[in-house]
Structure 1
Amino acid sequence: MDLQLSPLDQQRFGPVTAKATLADSDSAAAVQAWCRAQAVQLLIARLPTSAIALTQALEAGGARLADTLVYYTRKALAASAPDLPAGYRWRLATAADADAVAALAGLTFAGYAGHYHADARLDRAAADAVYADWAANSCRSAAVADAVILLEAADGIAAFATLKDRGQHVFEGVLFGVHPQHQGRGLYHCLMQLSQHWAAAGGFTQMLVSTQVTNLSVQKVWCRLGFEPSASYYTFHQWFD
């Protein structure tokens, strides 16, 4: 069990917040008792969907489902760089791109159906800002992302992908965004291929991606690119009033 306070979430939203990554064998009662002892107001807990008994215990203790994540894995990377549509080029971001990438993330993730947005007690503008801050910090800090791929057009950054080393030659495509004015041109598909191209050159052998179970459009892209379902997780929110 990984359970700790989250000062960043408290700064963003106000209430004292704890985050937990749970396994089948963990105790919902122990988690909730720890939260009460630490004067936690909001618990955000993630656990495998296979942990049915733990899921039911969390629900019985007052936790509410906020989202369901599905993970897909590709075990053989496509090393070749794709042919980009005319007028686009790609490069890796630097810290100087942070503000521009944050602005694009803020646009593409506005109202995104993540677990923060699913909680009616959390400010929606602050929930939108989570993704903008995450994207900006991905450009600034190797602790957040190992690379950020940009697709550029004449009018600026058209799309981005943030990539993170997960160890054992596996990397994750974490955040992807395509500007609304550049959608419908296959740029997301290009980002997926460019991510694999970057990773193969760095010695990675597998790619991991995740999304909400309801986001069928990107899952269809992943299946066409040779990805397979590999894991799924629930995210619960519990308020202690």
Structure 2
Amino acid sequence: MSAASASGIAAAPLPETAPAPALRPVPETRTAAPIPAPAPRRATGDDAQPAPPPAEADATERDCRKRLRTLGVSFRDAAPVRDPAGCRIDHPVLVRTLSPQVGLRPPALLNCAIAETAARFVRDVAAPVAARRFAQPLAALHRVSGYVCRPRNGSAKLSEHAFGNAIDLSAFELADGTRIEVGKPAGDGERQFLRGVRDRACGPFKTVLGPGADADHATHFHFDLAERRGGATFCQ
């Protein structure tokens, strides 16, 4: 007889082993797909990002900016333009005025050389001709295009606009708010003014096109600094 029986106490049954809990599968860790970076925007002049001025070693660009300040041009340096299509400006400037009195509307992204030529054109040609013809100051030039990454019309060759080396002007604004539209002059006085500034732009600018040259330039003047053999100009 066992000791437990002898004492009259029943032996307690051994507890059963509890079943192990079922293992749940660990969810797979997924690596989040990278979010693609947004495609870079092409600068047009209105959204050009500021940039430090050209390196001190670049004397040509540095001296050009000194001349812009002397002429009273309001501008700031913009980030270099590099486009896969080949459009490029190494040291662009965003120009807001072409003299202390004459604005550029809207501001234009240009290379420094044509910005300087445009400022001298205003000082030496457009402003004095307007003052003589209309007896009031010139207040603004309205532009259609400055830098634009595109080919020439009807050609695969890049336009001078693609290098910030051209500017298209659609109107001249006088101090009283009168706008002299290149494509729609009102009366002989405006026609003679436009003819005078167009004729005298040929030389400072290397290309001058406007109404009558072709259908693409029926409503604006195109001025650029395209290099030609012997420094020749092309004006129509």
Q: TM (normalized to structure 2)? A: 0.27
Q: Name the larger-Rg structure.
A: 2
Q: TM (normalized to structure 1)? A: 0.26
Greater share of strand: 1
Greater share of helix: 1
